[in-house]
Chains A and B, each alone.
Chain A
Amino acid sequence: MALLQADSSRTRANATSLASRTLPRGTVPGLGIAACGLAALLFSVAPFGGFAGYVVFSGLLFLVAQTATSFAVEGRRHAVDRFASSLVHTTFLIALLPLLSVVWKVLAQGSDQVNGNFLTHSMRNVGVSDAGGGIYHSMVGTLLQGLITSLISIPLALLVAVYLVEYGTGKLARSVTFFVDVMTGIPSIVAGLFIYTVWVLTFGFERSGFAAALALTILMVPTVVRSTEEMLKLVPNELREAAYALGVPKWRTILRIVIPTALPGIITGIMLGIARVIGETAPLLLLLGGTDSINFNALDGPQSALPLFIYDQAGRPNPEAIDRAWGAALALILIVMILNLVARSVARLTRVR
């Protein structure tokens, strides 16, 4: 109550002036340093331990100190503002933490492995406990399977999205949307089992890179449909009407106005889809067969792939295999990153000016 009164009397006092009291410069960093110091002191005397505990404790201390100081000096609104923005920054850092630690760990463990030899040799005739060998066969497999998946998925997904946004009305469109949503949630092992049942057991084909690509297609189509649909919906209706009013047929309006306008977003969606399926492991376990040799033919004979290779090598007891798994993990991350960079530059070239 007393605080409230103090607050309102300050408001009255400042009623004629636009300026109000603010924390002097350097207060916030000062409080930060003080909080760290106090926490260090506490941790050295009291029976607390651990670096993580220290970070959390000093962070909390800082949050309390900053909010209290701000409340006393600047008033309620500023205190709430500072508290909220500290909270937002903290949660951002927490969200970033696992990502950074994954990248850091893979870089640290894998960078020694990835070299010319590792990237250009297969595992053929390399014993499990031998050093050496490489991931060339797996990279070939991953890239080929990714390519086949993209070749099937992208046209299919784009056409479905165009149908849903530009043509679809009524029951059919609603059920397509519903099933696309359902398919987004299909566990990848189920997609793998489905293709295994249909392609291998029913039709009697061998396990191959193509069979794996079919399962990956089931996983990729819904995500690309979803993102493309959102991007197409963002294209203002005015542009479609402007084209119609110029006597441009609908199909040409879609092809030359709507899709180019949405293209950067569509490309981003496709890249996210590729990045998702390229790291998928479960369907590969069922459908790829797996091999130590290089196989450029996705239709004939077993292939390897990076996720499968990582799974295989990481499960072995000897350190050489585990090192190879780290190297392959790094290569997989790099491939996804390079694909992303390429897509971003393509998107930039085609962006809406």
Chain B
Amino acid sequence: MAKRIDARDLNIYYGSFLAVESVCLSIEPRSVTALIGPSGCGKSTFLRSLNRMHEVVPGAHVDGSVELDGQDIYADNVDPVTVRRTIGMVFQRPNPFPTMSIFDNVVAGLKLQGHRSKSELNEIAEGALRAANLWNEVKDRLDKPGSSLSGGQQQRLCIARAIAIRPDVLLMDEPCSALDPISTMAIEELIEELKRDYTIVIVTHNMQQAARVSDRTAFFNLVATGKPGQLVEVDRTAKIFSNPSVRATEDYVSGRFG
């Protein structure tokens, strides 16, 4: 459980377009790392390259390496499906499977990977829903469709679905941007609890949120439109927000641009 990630000289492409340039970034286990930066700077692209979701887009590819506890996930003999079972992901917009009940949504990952007995699934579903702080709200209507929940509940359902497959790392792509402040708070508390067991990387546009939930913060920036995004600096969150070493970071976090 909870592994570290080291990205080394990672260049990320869409076709021939270089979207993110030579990122070197280490992500500590059992901590929350926030990725901040203006729109289009490649935070989400970088995040998606950490569990090989990037290559789902036609023509997208990377060079460089991403190591999970020392093992390169882009090595030739690594199956992306296995990588994604180890590194889970939560998306910007809640996306429960519309044909499935709440229960089936939570265990979708396990069921679709085959195997597992019914009683085991029950146990895992309850555990994941409890971990996502959703159990008390849905325990009486597990057979109702997932889309019957509110937006915030749906997003927690998606988090439960992601942790039900027991990943080592959890990637979150702006998980609160479609939610109201109360649901956002619920998810932030959840992140606080989850970091005891998981390595968490979160992309956010909300700097207060980055300051609240993360231990380390990485600032990405774009030199100009059409140029690749770059990692400007990464440090303890407190340092990034009070005394960053690069001028551009200070300008961004203090709201002078972006």
> Which residues of chain B are within 8 angstroms of A249 by Cβ–Cβ distance?
81
The reply to whether the CB of B145 lies closer than 8 angstroms to some CB of chain A is: yes
> Which residues of chain A are within 8 angstroms of B53 by Cβ–Cβ distance?
241, 244-245
The reply to whether the CB of B209 lies closer than 8 angstroms to some CB of chain A is: no
Chain A window 116-140, contacts with chain B (Cβ cutoff 8 Å), 1 for yes, 0 for no? 0000000000000000000000000
Known A246-B162, A260-B99; contact A238-B91, beta-carbon cutoff 8 A: yes
Chain A window 25-62, contacts with chain B (Cβ cutoff 8 Å), 1 for yes, 0 for no? 00000000000000000000000000000000000000
Residue ID in chain B nearest A257 by CB atoms: B97
Query: A40 to B81, alpha carbons, bound, how many Å?
Result: 76
B97 in contact with A169 (CB, 8 Å) = no
> Which residues of chain A are within 8 angstroms of B98 by Cβ–Cβ distance?
239, 261, 352-353
Query: A253 to B111, alpha carbons, bound, how many Å?
Result: 11
> Which residues of chain B are within 8 angstroms of A248 by Cβ–Cβ distance?
81, 108-109, 112-113
> Which residues of chain A are within 8 angstroms of B109 by Cβ–Cβ distance?
246-248
Query: A246 to B128, alpha carbons, bound, how many Å?
Result: 14
- How many pairs, one residue from A and one from B, have CB atoms within 8 Å of each other in the complex? 75
The reply to whether the CB of B51 lies closer than 8 angstroms to some CB of chain A is: yes
Residues of B135-172 contacting chain A, CB below 8 A:
145, 147-148, 158, 161-162, 165
Chain B window 95-115, contacts with chain A (Cβ cutoff 8 Å), 1 for yes, 0 for no? 101110000000011001100
The reply to whether the CB of A252 lies closer than 8 angstroms to some CB of chain B is: yes
The reply to whether the CB of B8 lies closer than 8 angstroms to some CB of chain A is: no
> Which residues of chain A are within 8 angstroms of B85 by Cβ–Cβ distance?
246-247
A246 in contact with B161 (CB, 8 Å) = yes
Point out the residue from A242, A252, A257, A353 that lies within 8 Å of B145, measured CB to CB.
Answer: A353
Total interface residues on A, using CB and 8 Å?
Answer: 24
A253 in contact with B88 (CB, 8 Å) = no
> Which residues of chain B are within 8 angstroms of A256 by Cβ–Cβ distance?
112
The reply to whether the CB of B117 lies closer than 8 angstroms to some CB of chain A is: no
> Which residues of chain B are within 8 angstroms of A24 by Cβ–Cβ distance?
none
The reply to whether the CB of A243 lies closer than 8 angstroms to some CB of chain B is: yes
> Which residues of chain A are within 8 angstroms of B82 by Cβ–Cβ distance?
247
Point out the residue from A236, A247, A352, A353 that lies within 8 Å of B113, measured CB to CB.
Answer: A247
Interface residue tally on B, bucketed by range: 20 to 34
Query: A241 to B161, alpha carbons, bound, how many Å?
Result: 13
B58 in contact with A244 (CB, 8 Å) = no
> Which residues of chain B are within 8 angstroms of A169 by Cβ–Cβ distance?
58
> Which residues of chain A are within 8 angstroms of B205 by Cβ–Cβ distance?
none
The distance from the CB of B75 to the nearest CB of chain A, in whole angstroms, is 17
Query: A238 to B92, alpha carbons, bound, how many Å?
Result: 10
Residues of A144-183 contacting chain B, CB below 8 A:
169
Chain A window 227-247, contacts with chain B (Cβ cutoff 8 Å), 1 for yes, 0 for no? 000000000101111111111
> Which residues of chain A are within 8 angstroms of B83 by Cβ–Cβ distance?
247
Query: A246 to B95, alpha carbons, bound, how many Å?
Result: 12
Residue ID in chain A nearest B85 by CB atoms: A247
The distance from the CB of B149 to the nearest CB of chain A, in whole angstroms, is 12
Query: A18 to B116, alpha carbons, bound, how many Å?
Result: 65
B147 in contact with A243 (CB, 8 Å) = no
Point out the residue from A238, A252, A350, A352 that lies within 8 Å of B95, measured CB to CB.
Answer: A238
Point out the residue from A245, A257, A261 that lies within 8 Å of B89, measured CB to CB.
Answer: A245
Known A253-B112, A353-B145; contact A247-B99, beta-carbon cutoff 8 A: no
> Which residues of chain B are within 8 angstroms of A263 by Cβ–Cβ distance?
99
B162 in contact with A245 (CB, 8 Å) = yes
Known A252-B112, A352-B99; contact A246-B91, beta-carbon cutoff 8 A: no
The reply to whether the CB of B61 lies closer than 8 angstroms to some CB of chain A is: no
A245 in contact with B84 (CB, 8 Å) = yes
The reply to whether the CB of B223 lies closer than 8 angstroms to some CB of chain A is: no
> Which residues of chain B are within 8 angstroms of A245 by Cβ–Cβ distance?
51, 53, 84, 88-89, 91, 162
Known contacts A246-B162, A353-B148; 11 additional CB pairs below 8 A are: A242-B95, A243-B97, A246-B84, A246-B113, A247-B81, A247-B86, A247-B109, A247-B165, A248-B81, A252-B112, A353-B99
Which of B's residues lie within 8 Å of A, judged by CB? 51, 53, 56, 58, 81-86, 88-89, 91, 93, 95, 97-99, 108-109, 112-113, 145, 147-148, 158, 161-162, 165
Which of A's residues lie within 8 Å of B, judged by CB? 169, 236, 238-249, 252-253, 256-257, 260-261, 263, 350, 352-353
Q: Can you name 25 A-B residue pairings with CB atoms under 8 Å?
A: A238-B91, A239-B95, A239-B98, A241-B53, A241-B91, A242-B97, A243-B97, A243-B112, A244-B56, A245-B84, A245-B162, A246-B85, A246-B109, A246-B165, A247-B83, A248-B108, A248-B109, A248-B112, A249-B81, A257-B97, A257-B99, A257-B112, A353-B98, A353-B145, A353-B148
